[in-house]
């Protein structure tokens, strides 16, 4: 093999490796779904409906990796969270009526704004368990519905 052939063979290998890497990255980026969450029982048109798609480690906390919001309106609001990798997650939602991006609570610690979880997971003497709220997200899109619960008299 001449020096020129060796250089071109090496460049072809590097070029092929780069092409494979680019294809792998494109495939990894394509491995994501749009999760459409219909939030039912929205009490009024004040503020926004916020949703968070959570892993077991982030569930019930402020750092869920995938979030979205839509303006509130009485009845149902559909919020779409884009680019969620396929897997199992739990969705938490609340009606942020005063748009302070916090779930307001009363003096007993009960939410003053509507809250909801995927699968309408039961809240028995506290927040639901992740296992009760877990749902599978698959490509290209997944749809789910949850209902807000207003726990404090309005």
pLDDT in tens, 96-128: 999 999 999 999 999 999 999 999 999 988 899
Helix (H) or strand (E) holding 18: helix 3-30
Q: Write the CA distances from 5 to 11, 12, 15, 16, 80, integer angstroms.
A: 10, 10, 15, 16, 53
State the pTM of this model: 0.79
Q: How many CA atoms lie within 13 A of 37 on its CB side?
A: 35
pLDDT at 29: 53
Domain ranges of the chain: 33-147
Q: Which residues of the chain have pLDDT under 50?
A: 1-28
pLDDT at 1: 43
Contact of 77 with 41, CB cutoff 8 Å: no
pLDDT at 15: 42
pLDDT at 152: 86
């Amino acid at each position: 093999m001449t020096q020129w052939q060796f250089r071109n063979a090496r460049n072809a290998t590097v070029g092929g490796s780069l092409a494979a890497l680019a294809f792998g990255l494109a495939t990894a980026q394509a491995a994501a779904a749009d999760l459409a969450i219909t939030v039912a029982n929205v009490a009024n048109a004040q503020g926004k409906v916020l949703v968070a798609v959570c892993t077991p480690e982030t569930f019930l906390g402020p750092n869920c990796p995938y979030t979205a919001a839509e303006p509130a309106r009485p009845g149902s609001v559909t919020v779409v969270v884009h680019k969620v990798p396929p897997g199992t997650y739990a969705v938490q939602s609340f009606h942020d009526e005063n748009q302070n991006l916090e779930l307001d609570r009363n003096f007993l610690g009960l939410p003053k704004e509507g809250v909801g979880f995927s699968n309408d997971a039961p809240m028995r003497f506290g927040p639901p368990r992740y296992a009760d709220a877990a749902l599978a997200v698959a490509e290209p899109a997944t749809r789910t519905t949850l209902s807000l619960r207003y726990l404090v008299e309005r």
